[in-house]
Structure 1
C-alpha cells in the first residue's frame, strides 16, 4: 500500500502527451508506456479492491460501535424507568467504555476512506492515461505509415524523373519530329502535283492538240451548214 501511494503524486502529475512528443521513437515509447501503465493498473486494481474492502470493514465496525452505544443508552433509560438505578449505572458505565472506543473506530474509518479515495483516483487516472497512450499510439502508427508511403512515392518519383521519364520524353520528342517531317513531305508533294497539272495545261503539245480539234470541228460545222 505504502509503495503504491508513494507513486501517486508522480502518476497524477505525469503528462503522457509531453513524454510522447519528446520521445525519439514515439511508437516505441508508446508501447513501453502502455506496458508500464497496464502493469501499474493491474497492481492498483488489486490494491484498490483491498483498500475498499478495508474501508467497508472499518465503517461497519464504527456503525456497530455507534449502535452498541445507542442500545446501552436505551437499556439505561429502561432501568431508570423501572427504578433499578444500579442496573442503569452498569449500562451507563459500559456505554462510556464503548463511546470512548468510537473515536478510535471513526479515525480508522476516516483513514481507510481516504486511502480508498486515493486508490480510486489513481485507478481512474491510470485508466485515462492508458487510453491516451493507446489513442496516441494508433495516431502515431497511422502517421508513420503515411510518412513511409510518402517516402516510397518520392523515391519512385525520383527514380522515374531521373531515368524512365527522361527516356519517355526523348522518345516522344523523336516521334513528334517524325510526324512533323511526314506532314511537311505530304504538303510539299501536294503542291508539286498541283503545279504539274497547271503547267501541263499550257504545254505546247496540249495547245496544238486542242487547236487541231477546234479547226476540225469548225470544218465539220461548215460542211453541214451549221
Structure 2
C-alpha cells in the first residue's frame, strides 16, 4: 500500500533542475504527485476505518459473550435449586462453549487491535509527509517560476531579434532627433525671413520720412 507513497515522496523531494531535465513541467508534476499521495491517504483511512469497525464489533461480541457466561452460571444455580440437575448440566455446558468462544474472540480482538494501531501509526506518518510535501510545493513553485522567468529573460537578452529591436529603437530615436532638428531649422528660417521683411518695411518707412523731411526743408527754403 505504501510503496507508491514512498516513491512519490522521493520524486517530489528531488531537485527542481532534475525535473526540468526530464522535460516535465515541475508545477504540474508536483500537483499530480500530491493528488496521488492524497489518494493513498484516503485509501489508508478507509482501510483503517474498516479494521476499527471490526475491532469494535469484536469487542461488543466479547462483552455480550461474557454476560452470557455469567447468565448461564446463574441459570445453572437456579436449575439446581429447582432440582433440575440435567438442565443445570446443559447450562454449564453452554457456559463452557461460550467461554471458549470468548477466548477465541479475545485473541482475534487483540490481533485486530494490533492491526488498528499499526495502521493508525502509518496513517499519521503518511499525513505528516503529505503535509511536508504541501509545504514544499509552494517553495518549488516559486523556484520553478523564477527559473522560467530567468530563462525567458536570458533568451531575450541573447536572441538576435532582441538586438534587432534595440537597433530599430535606436534608428527611430535618430529619426526623432532629425525631425526635431528640422523643426528647429524651419523655425529659425521663419524668424530670419520675418526679420528681413521687417527690415525692408522699416526701410520703406524711413524713406518716406526722409522724403517728407526734405519736402519740409524745401518749403522753408522758399
Task: Give the TM-score of the pair, scaled to structure 1.
Answer: 0.58
Question: Any idea what the Cα deviations from partners look like across 1:118-177, whole Å, max 9, x if unmatched?
Answer: 335545765776687689779867874675466446545655641113222222223313
Question: Secondary structure in 2 aligned to 1:22?
Answer: coil
User: What is the aligned partner in structure 1 of residue 110 from structure 2?
Assistant: 110
Tell me the CA shift for residue 210 of structure 1: 3.6
**2:210 matched to 1:211?**
yes
Q: Unaligned regions of 5+ residues in structure 2, if any?
A: 20-25
Measure how far apart 1:71 and its partner are.
0.9
* Map of 2:177 onto structure 1: 176
Q: Identify the residue that residue 22 of structure 1 maps to in structure 2.
A: 14
Q: Count matched residues.
A: 211
CA distance in 1, matches of 2:186, 2:66: 119
2-side partners of 1:54 and 1:193: how far apart? 110
Root mean square deviation of aligned Cα? 5.0
Separation (CA, whole Å) in 1 of partners of 2:210 and 2:30: 108
Q: Distance between the aligned counterparts of 1:93 and 1:189, measured in 2? A: 133
> Which has more radius of gyration?
1
| Corresponding position of 2:168 | 167
| Contact 2:37-2:130 at 8 Å conserved across structures | no
| Rounded Cα–Cα distance in structure 2 between residues aligned with 1:47 and 1:196 | 105
CA contact (8 A) 1:76 1:91 kept: yes
In the alignment, structure 1 residue 55 sits paired with structure 2 residue 55 = yes
* Cα gap change, 1:221 to 1:157, in 2 (>3 Å): farther
Normalising by structure 2, we get a TM-score of 0.59
CA contact (8 A) 2:76 2:87 kept: yes
Higher relative contact order (CA 8 A, sep 6+): 1
What residue in structure 1 maps to residue 119 of structure 2?
A: 119
Query: Structure 1, residues 156-204: CA drift from partner, whole Å, max 9, x if none?
Result: 565564111322222222331342254145326625753675588579x
Match of 1:186 in 2: 187
Gaps of 5+ in 1: none
- Asked if structure 1 preserves the Cα contact closer than 8 Å seen for 2:75 and 2:88, the reply is yes
